[in-house]
Amino acid sequence: MDSIKEKIQSKSKETRQEVTGKILSYSAIILIVAVVISIFAFVASKGIATFTQNHASLKDFFLTTDWSPTAVGKDGRPLVGALPMILGSFGVTLLAVLFATPFAIGTALYMTQIASKRGHRLLQIVIELLVGIPSVVYGFIGLSVVVPFVRTHFGGSGYGILSGSFVLFVMVLPTVTSMTEDSLRAVPSYYKSASLALGATEWQTIYKVILRAALPGILTAVVFGMARAFGEALAVQMVIGNATLMPKGLLSASSTLTSVLTMGIGNTVMGTVGNNALWSLALVLLLMSLIFNLLIKWIGRRGRF
């Protein structure tokens, strides 16, 4: 009797495993959350210091165009006009996604609706390969192929938003394609069957039923692509020209938040205006990626079917 009582009252091996498992997963979660919070706190404290310690004006930061953080303007405040970079970042991002989306939807439709199993597998390999290419390789191809191409066919020096968007187009294509494919695949097959049974052609089915049903998923894919394009640094930096000037068009040398950041961070000293101003750019980047994330969540919640 006693042995049974003991067995029931004491912790079994499985219970102990349960506890260990919980401890492990909780500590992992706590670690991750702590890392995220401290990154946010660090970037925010540094980024805000430009405005609190160095007395730059927040309005100038978003609305003026003169970026020379180490110099001071007439009002004695550091010149931190980040508008050219903010516009540059949005410019390349929007254009890249604009180029990529039609191709991504086309490819994903082919893969899910039209292609044979073999065709599908082949395309999947191609797209996964595109994901795996490091960004410096994209940048180098951009420098040696895209820039001369833009120079001879569109004019200018070849460096600018257009070249940046061409490079980013290839880089965001796999992300948008594979997510679009997932959302097309998630459309219940009886939608398609019902539509075909009613006498609709394949194209009518795709256009009127499948694409409509998958729209929220496709939008999510596009926003994901934007988030990737917005944060890309190296490849864009190599082809955009890095001039902190207001973009005069798609062909004039411009810069993005990331390109200015990567160029400047090694040449400034922690705690100086120049360095803090760069952290302010980083803060903008971080907030933008937060906004992209919230947008994805919002679309996901609204469009569930």
Partner 1 sequence: MKKKQIITTLLVLGLALAGCAKQDSSAKKTIQVVGSSAMQPIVEMGAHEYQRSVPEQKITVQGGGSGTGLSQVQSGAVDIGNSDIFAANQKGIAASKLHDHKLAVIGVAPIVNKDVGVKNITMAQLRGIYTGHYTNWKQLGGQNIEIVVIDRAQGSGTRSIFDSEVLGGQKKMKAQEQDSNGSVQHMVADTPGAISYVSFPYLKDTFTALKIDGIAPTTKNVTTNAWKLWGYEHMYTGKSPSKETKAFINYLLKSDKIQEKLLTRLHYISLRSMKVEKDQHGKVTPVE
Q: Annotate each residue in 50-69 with x if it binds partner 1 (CB under 8 A) or - if it does not, as one string.
A: ------------------x-
Interaction between residue 269 and partner 1 (CB under 8 A): yes
Q: Which of residues 47 and 274 has its CB atom nearest to partner 1 in the complex? A: 274
Per CB under 8 A, the segment of 95-103, 169-177, 202-210, 241-249 that binds partner 1 is 241-249
Residue 83 beta carbon to partner 1: minimum distance, rounded to whole angstroms: 13
Q: Cα dihedral sign for 275, 162, 228, 285?
A: positive
Interaction between residue 250 and partner 1 (CB under 8 A): no
In 3D space, the residue among 228, 92, 209 whose CA is nearest the CA of residue 160 turns out to be 92
Residue 67: phi, psi to the nearest 5?
A: -105, 90
Encoding tokens for residue 281? 């750019």
Per CB under 8 A, the segment of 53-61, 123-131, 154-162, 207-215 that binds partner 1 is 154-162
In 3D space, the residue among 127, 91, 109 whose CA is nearest the CA of residue 226 turns out to be 91
Helix then strand count (H, E) for the chain reads 14, 2
Interface size with partner 1, residues (CB under 8 A): 36
**Exposed, middle or buried by CB within 10 Å (0-12, 13-18, 19+), for 287?**
middle
Interaction between residue 289 and partner 1 (CB under 8 A): no
Per CB under 8 A, the segment of 18-26, 42-50, 87-95, 108-116 that binds partner 1 is 18-26
DSSP strand pairing (67-72 vs 78-80): antiparallel
Interaction between residue 158 and partner 1 (CB under 8 A): yes
Residue 277 beta carbon to partner 1: minimum distance, rounded to whole angstroms: 11
Return d(Cα 145, Cα 269) in angstroms, integer.
36
Residue 60 beta carbon to partner 1: minimum distance, rounded to whole angstroms: 17
Residue 74 beta carbon to partner 1: minimum distance, rounded to whole angstroms: 14
Residue 257 beta carbon to partner 1: minimum distance, rounded to whole angstroms: 14
In 3D space, the residue among 82, 36, 34, 39 whose CA is nearest the CA of residue 57 turns out to be 82
Q: Which of residues 81 and 174 has its CB atom nearest to partner 1 in the complex? A: 81
Whether 156 contacts 86, CB under 8 Å: no
Q: Can you give the binding site for partner 1, defined by CB under 8 A?
A: 17, 20-21, 24, 68, 70, 143-144, 147-148, 151, 157-159, 238, 241-245, 253, 255, 262-275
